A and B are shown apart, each in its own frame.
Chain A
Amino acid sequence: MEHLSNEHIRPLSPNIQIYRPQLTSVLSVVNRITGVFLSACAVFLVAWLVAAASGREAYSRFHDCIASWPGQFFLLASTFAFFLHFCGGIRHLVWDTGRGFELRQIYISGWIVVAASMALTLACWLASLLMARQV
């Protein structure tokens, strides 16, 4: 039984490296990447709350960071990542009920996730800019 020892390196079946990217696989990876990215964003959520609790000066310093160009880009990226993960997550929850597994349905729901994420990101930023103007 020596040849079955754990040290024996076994060949792995071919994985993502040999497949052409498809909507299905890309969205699967995107759900993961946005999840990890949003985890990093959650650190900023806590930093924002702590800054607000620390007082006016700390909050305005945090606000200046967000208002800068890199800050705004980060906020835009996190908004899009939020909606991709949000819509992708709802798609996963629907799958968990055993529905929507036909190939055609999978592609339709996939494109809905992409379109809805873009539309919601745009809508949020437009609404936010309009609100900021009124104040």
Chain B
Amino acid sequence: MVGHRFRSPLGLAMGLGSAKSGVGHWWTERVTAVALIPLGVWFAASLIAHSGSSYDAFIGWMGSPITAVLMILLLITLFWHITLGLQVVIEDYVHSGAKIWLLLTTHFVCFALAVAGIVATLRIAVGVWTVI
């Protein structure tokens, strides 16, 4: 894992320590955050550019391969970042037996939403490609 260079050699060798898989979690949160900077700017700029545009114009934009690729990248990165972030919030404030269920639900819902968003994006894109 990339995050290993932040761990002590002893902790690495024993596979123990207070961090356990925490370094990987922390590092992935940062990697997704960095990726979300350009993706977020692209998304905000695209929404502004399409203010007041028609359904056909919007579908046409969504149908371009670049848009479809960037939208799917945004969905994957965003929901990965959300999963990691909500996990921290839950682990910080929920200490009862509900914790494990909340974590499970968060993970399942995030994965489901990401897949739903990707399928919707592909459906629009493929629909446009088929018409052409």
Contacts and interface: CB of A to CB of B under 8 A. Distances in A.
B102 to A, nearest CB: 13
B49 A36 contact: no
A135 B30 contact: no
Contacts of B49: 131
Interface residues of A, number: 32
A53 B120 contact: yes
Contact of A52 (B33, B36, B37, B120): B120
Nearest to A31: B85
Contacts of A133: 52
B51 A129 contact: yes
B117 A49 contact: yes
A124 B48 contact: yes
Contacts of B48: 124, 127-128, 131
Interface string A49-63: 110110010011000
Interface residues of B, number: 37
A53 B82 contact: no
A43 interface: yes
Interface in B1-49: 30, 33-34, 36-37, 40, 44, 47-49
A42 B43 CA distance: 12
Contact of B85 (A35, A59, A127): A35
B79 A36 contact: no
Contacts of A56: 55
A42 B78 contact: yes
5 contacts: A39-B85, A45-B117, A49-B71, A53-B120, A86-B40
Interface of B: 30, 33-34, 36-37, 40, 44, 47-55, 58-59, 62, 71, 75, 78-79, 82, 85-86, 89, 113-114, 116-117, 119-121, 123-124, 127
